[in-house]
Amino acid sequence: MTGPIKSLDARYYTDPEVFKLETGGLLARTWQFGCHASDLAKTGDYATFEIAGESLFAIRGRDDKIRVFYNVCQHRAHQLVSGTGTTRVVVCPYHAWTYELSGELRAGPNIKAVEGFDKSSVCLTEVRVEEFLGFVFVNLDPNAAPMEDWFPGARAELEEWVPNWAELKPLEWVEIPENCNWKVSVENYSECYHCSLNHPTFANGVVKPETYDIHPQGKCLRHTTECQALDQMTYDINSGFAHSHEYSSWFLWPMFSFQVYPGNVLNTYHWRAIDADHVVVWRGWYSVGGVDDEKVRKLAQQDRATTVEEDIHLVESVHRGLKSRGYVPGPLVVDPKGGVNSEHPVMHLQRWMKEAIDG
Ligand code: FES
Ligand SMILES: [Fe+2]
């Protein structure tokens, strides 16, 4: 008998050195959300974003392929682009070297004067990219396994739950700053042991709490539940698609989650770690063509006012508590049968979190 599994030591959440290790390690070795493919609708469209402290940009090539590059010129390291936009070629603002949309050096003022200058040896540094239901994911590790190996079956399931994903565009992003470590927020998202006490809309709402469960599927944490009282929904859930009467979610380790509400309404969580004590959660909401959709807007508002608001207070209190000298990590409530009142998903998360730091 080894006794119950203890929650992770507080220093993993509060120590700035741990955060530094995560930035250079975990964030650079996992699949991270970059931008939505609808930002890159046409040839030459680009969008910049930051991952693991690195500036990157995604750009759509003449072959229609989305590529992602480090946002740095191969001449003398000036930044190439900022924000979003569209361009025929990538021109560095420092000395006007130009690159093809596929990253090869195309021209540079007076480079022909340099004897032995081999243009073909200069190319922007490309990183691994995968499009996942219109979401552009990036992995800075050139040897990373494909997303299908990390999250087996998740893509196929999501395509079933969101059959019109190719038509969806972001309608709005709700930004939620939280004064806590990103892992506190992710753990809170990944267990429902706290739900009956803290989320009245959860306990008395759409889902049947006693059927709620969360199971690892590779490094995806899959939330499933049965629903009840669907006749009392505030919107019409009859989408004509399969699974319209279900709720489901797919958390992709370490910082992204897809949720599908009844009526096949897609919404997402994207955690952005700022430092050891701050995270910003972006709630993404989508509609066909990105046109205003009252149903989706109402859902976003309702979610912000209930679940999100209730969770902010929980995670911020936990983060303060993790800094208390009086805190001794307690046992996790892991029920071998799983279920809504079991913290087994936290146990899995904490193993992945510890592995990322201690190897
Ligand atoms: S640094 Fe980009 S052209 Fe010189
Ligand atoms: Fe919660």
> What is the number of the ligand closest to the CA of 312?
2
Burial code (b: 16+ CB inside 10 Å, e: under 16) for 98-114 equals ebbbbbebeebeeeeee
- Quote the pLDDT of residue 187: 98
Cα–Cα dist 349/190, whole Å: 8
- Quote the pLDDT of residue 299: 92
78 lines ligand 1 (CB under 6 A): yes
Q: What angle do CA 225, 230, 235 make, to 5 degrees?
A: 115
Output the CA 92–ligand 1 centroid distance in Å.
6
Ion ligand 2: residues, CB < 5 A: 311
If one residue of 70, 71, 73 were mutated to test the ligand 1 pocket, choosing by the most ligand atoms within 8 A of its CB, it would be 73
- Quote the pLDDT of residue 225: 92
Q: What is the pLDDT along the chain (359 residues), one digit of tens a residue?
A: 678 999 999 999 999 999 999 999 999 999 999 999 999 999 999 999 999 999 999 999 999 999 999 999 999 999 999 999 999 999 999 999 999 999 999 999 999 999 999 999 999 999 999 999 999 999 999 999 999 999 999 999 999 999 999 999 999 999 999 999 999 999 999 999 999 999 987 777 778 888 999 999 999 999 999 988 777 788 889 899 999 989 999 999 999 999 999 999 999 999 999 999 999 999 999 999 999 999 999 999 999 999 999 999 999 999 999 999 999 999 999 999 999 999 999 999 999 999 999 98
Output the CA 135–ligand 2 centroid distance in Å.
25
106 lines ligand 1 (CB under 6 A): no
- Quote the pLDDT of residue 1: 60
Burial zone of 294 (CB within 10 Å; 0-12 exposed, 13-18 middle, 19+ buried): exposed
Measured from the Cα of 95, ligand 1's closest atom is 3
Measured from the Cα of 78, ligand 1's closest atom is 1
